[in-house]
Amino acid sequence: MTIRVRVNGNEIELPTAVSIEQMIRLVDIPQNYLAVEVNAIVVPREDHGRHLIDDGDEVEVVTLVGGG
């Protein structure tokens, strides 16, 4: 079984019952320097392991870049 979610604006398919922590690992992002938002709410780093991604979720994975 899979679910479809939108990550950083791109629709991707994920297995069901995937946590944020697992999802970040699946898409090969370095875990450092990241913040994750699900449906416009920030999920604290401490909750990444137990927060499961749902079908249709809008996920944003952000980092810091140069800016003024």
- Site size toward another protein, by CB under 8 A: 26
* Contact predicate 1/24, CB 8 Å: no
Stretch of residues binding another protein (CB under 8 A), selected from 14-22, 29-37, 49-57: 29-37
Return left, alpha or beta for 54; rule: phi > 0 is left, psi -120 to 50 is alpha, else beta.
beta
Q: Using the rule CB under 8 A, is 30 a contact of another protein?
A: yes
d(CA 14, CA 17): 9
Q: Single out the segment in contact with another protein by CB under 8 A; choices: 13-21, 30-38, 49-57.
A: 30-38
Report the nearest approach of another protein to the CB of residue 1 (Å).
23
